[in-house]
Amino acid sequence: MTLDTVEKRILYFVPLSFFFVFLFFPLNLGMKILFFSAILFFLILFSLCAYWTQEWYPDRKFLVGFFVSFLHTFLYIFSGFLGFFFAFLNSNFFPFFFDFNKFLLVC
C-alpha cells in the first residue's frame, strides 16, 4: 500500500506545524486549534471528494467522500498528536530552551 499525495503532505506538514503550535501555545489552545482545523479539513476534503466522485459514481458520491475524508482526517489528527508528542519530548528534555508559554499573552 502506498501513500497518495494528500497523505504524504499530511505526514510531512502537520506534525511539523503542530510541533510548533504545541511548543509555543498552551495545551488547551493547541488542542482547540488541532480539532478545529481537523473539522475544517474534513469538511473541505469531503466537499472535494464528493465533487470528484460525482462523475464516476453519482449514486455513491457522499459515501465515497465520507470514507475518504474520514480516513484522511484520522491521519491528520494522528499527525497532530505526533507533533504534540515531539513537542512534549522536546520540552521535557530541553526545558531551558523552550519555555515560551510564560511569555505569551493568550486568552
Residue 16: inside a domain, yes or no?
A: no
Residue 6: inside a domain, yes or no?
A: no
Residue 31: inside a domain, yes or no?
A: yes
For the chain, how many structural domains are there in total?
A: 1
Distances (CA, A) of 53 to 44, 62, 104, 106: 14, 9, 45, 42
Residue 78: inside a domain, yes or no?
A: yes
Domain that holds residue 35: 25-93
pLDDT at 58 (0 to 100)? 86
pLDDT at 102 (0 to 100)? 54
Residue 17: inside a domain, yes or no?
A: no
Residue 56: inside a domain, yes or no?
A: yes
Residue 12: inside a domain, yes or no?
A: no
| 0.95 surpassed by pTM | no
- Predicted confidence pLDDT, tens digits, the chain (107 residues): 565 677 777 888 889 999 989 888 888 999 999 999 999 999 999 999 889 888 888 888 899 889 999 999 999 999 999 999 998 888 788 766 655 555 554 54
pLDDT at 100 (0 to 100)? 57
